[in-house]
Each structure stands twice: as structure tokens, then as C-alpha cells.
């Protein structure tokens, strides 16, 4: 119960991470007519959780959450950037990461967060959002597994929020999609515990292509 309030605060859409301005390629899929319903949205969310987060961002988060060496944090951070294929996705993750680290350092001024911010500003590491979240949740006293669930939930909530702005989707349907994804969130964290950060390998080709095509879209509501 002690960990619940920090998890709620950092995972809330009110927290100023900038996640609300990104759709993770969903805008392209909606524009193409690939995603047109709550069922389609649920499929996209499941792929994000199982094939992307569980194989890349989550293992990176779990690794830095347990790390005491800033050099190791930088290695994990650069490894995560290397598997983000679209430039928009990399840029989005870096912008959110620096913002998240900066805001959390004000709330819990841990040395690891301060070191990450300094390294990002000096150009020594990209500062991905999952890496910043791993350090921030540790500073706030959350366990590794709970930190992973915060990442899963905040990512899922941002995607569903984007869908509400992009699709004819009711708030009730959106909440049902989010609730139905809870088992997949837990499964993603469990799977990520067995993935070494040196072996990151997300595999969601349709989402990667959608994210890459978004960069050249003539009209865009979202930054990614």
C-alpha cells in the first residue's frame, strides 16, 4: 500500500511527461483505416505491450532500476535507443525522458536522476523515457515490478487517450479496453524479467512502419 500513491502520481496523465502529445504510430493506422474500432485498438495495445515494451523498454527499465553505476545506466540507455527504429520514436522517448527525469528530480532528488540529467545535457546519453522512469520509480521507493507496471499503464493510457482523439470511440469503450489490458500488462512485466538488457529485440513491424510513415504525413495531430 505504501507504494500505491507514488505509482498513481507518476503514472497519472496529469504528470507532465508530455506523453499526451504522442500516438506511437496509432495516428497513421487510424488514417489508413486499419484501426477503426475498440477491438482493433485492443489488438494494437496488446502488440505494444507484448512485442515492444516486454522486449525493449521494460527490460531497460528493470535494468537501470537495479543499477548503481551511471556508466551502466548510459549503456542500457544507448542500447534502448538502438532498437527504436523510427526517428520520431527516438526523439519522443528522449523528450519525455528528460522531462520526466527533471520533474521527478524535484520531487525525489536522487543522485542517479541528477546524473542522468547531467549526462543527457552533456550529450553522453539519449535519456530515454523508460530509463528515466526506472530511476525515478526507484527514487520514489517503488519496487522493480511495480515500476514496470507503471510504465505499462502509463503507455497504455497514453495510447487509449490518443485513440479517443483520433477515433469515434466512447469513454466507456476506452476504459473497457484499458481494463481488459491489465493481464497483458502483468504478463509483459513478467516476460521482461527474463530479458537481458543486452538482448533487446522488439518485433512489431506494422507498428514500426506506421511510426516511420507518420514522420512524413501531410497532416498530423500528434508529434509521433
> Tens digit of pLDDT for each residue in 165-219?
998 999 999 999 999 999 999 999 999 999 999 999 999 889 888 888 877 766 6
**At residue 79, does pLDDT exceed 70?**
yes
State the Cα–Cα distance between residues 198 and 194, nearest whole angstrom: 12
pLDDT at 219: 67
Identify the band that residue 13 occupies on the pLDDT scale cut at 50, 70 and 90: confident
Lowest mean pLDDT among 15-24, 26-35, 96-105, 147-156: 15-24
Q: At what angle do helices 57-65 and 129-139 cross, to 10 degrees?
A: 40
Rounded percentage of the chain residues whose pLDDT exceeds 70: 95
Q: Report domain extents, the chain.
A: 4-11+19-214
pLDDT at 223: 63
pLDDT at 224: 61
pLDDT at 1: 46
Confidence (pTM) = 0.93
SS (H, E, C) 32-92: CCCCCCHHHHHHHHHHHHHHHHHHCHHHHHHHHHCCCCHHHHHHHHHHHHHCCCCHHHHHH
Angle, CA of 151, 145 and 120, to the nearest 5°: 50
Q: At what angle do helices 182-192 and 144-166 cross, to 10 degrees?
A: 140
| Fold designation for 4-11+19-214 | Urease accessory protein UreF (1.10.4190)
pLDDT at 36: 94
State the Cα–Cα distance between residues 122 and 24, nearest whole angstrom: 27
Supply 133's cell numbers. Answer: 522512469
> Tens digit of pLDDT for each residue in 25-61?
888 888 889 999 999 999 999 999 999 999 999 999 9
Amino acid at each position: 500500500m505504501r507504494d500505491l500513491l507514488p505509482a498513481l502520481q507518476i503514472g497519472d496523465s496529469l504528470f507532465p511527461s508530455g506523453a499526451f502529445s504522442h500516438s506511437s504510430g496509432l495516428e497513421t493506422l487510424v488514417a489508413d483505416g486499419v484501426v477503426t474500432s475498440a477491438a482493433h485498438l485492443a489488438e494494437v495495445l496488446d502488440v505494444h505491450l507484448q512485442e515492444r515494451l516486454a522486449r525493449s523498454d521494460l527490460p531497460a527499465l528493470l535494468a537501470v532500476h537495479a543499477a548503481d553505476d551511471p556508466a551502466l545506466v548510459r549503456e542500457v540507455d544507448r542500447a534502448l535507443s538502438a532498437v527504436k527504429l523510427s526517428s520520431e520514436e527516438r526523439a519522443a522517448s528522449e523528450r519525455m525522458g528528460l522531462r520526466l527525469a527533471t520533474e521527478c528530480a524535484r520531487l525525489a532528488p536522487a543522485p542517479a536522476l541528477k546524473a542522468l540529467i547531467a549526462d543527457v545535457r552533456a550529450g553522453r546519453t539519449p535519456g530515454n523515457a523508460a530509463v528515466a522512469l526506472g530511476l525515478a520509480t526507484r527514487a520514489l521507493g517503488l519496487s522493480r515490478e511495480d515500476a514496470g507496471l507503471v510504465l505499462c499503464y502509463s503507455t497504455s493510457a497514453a495510447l487509449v487517450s490518443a485513440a479517443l482523439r483520433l477515433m469515434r470511440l466512447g469513454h466507456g469503450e476506452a476504459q473497457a479496453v484499458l481494463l481488459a489490458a491489465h493481464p497483458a500488462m502483468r504478463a509483459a512485466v513478467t516476460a521482461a524479467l527474463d530479458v537481458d538488457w543486452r538482448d533487446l529485440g522488439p518485433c512489431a513491424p506494422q507498428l514500426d512502419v506506421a511510426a516511420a510513415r507518420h514522420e512524413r504525413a501531410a497532416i498530423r495531430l500528434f508529434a509521433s
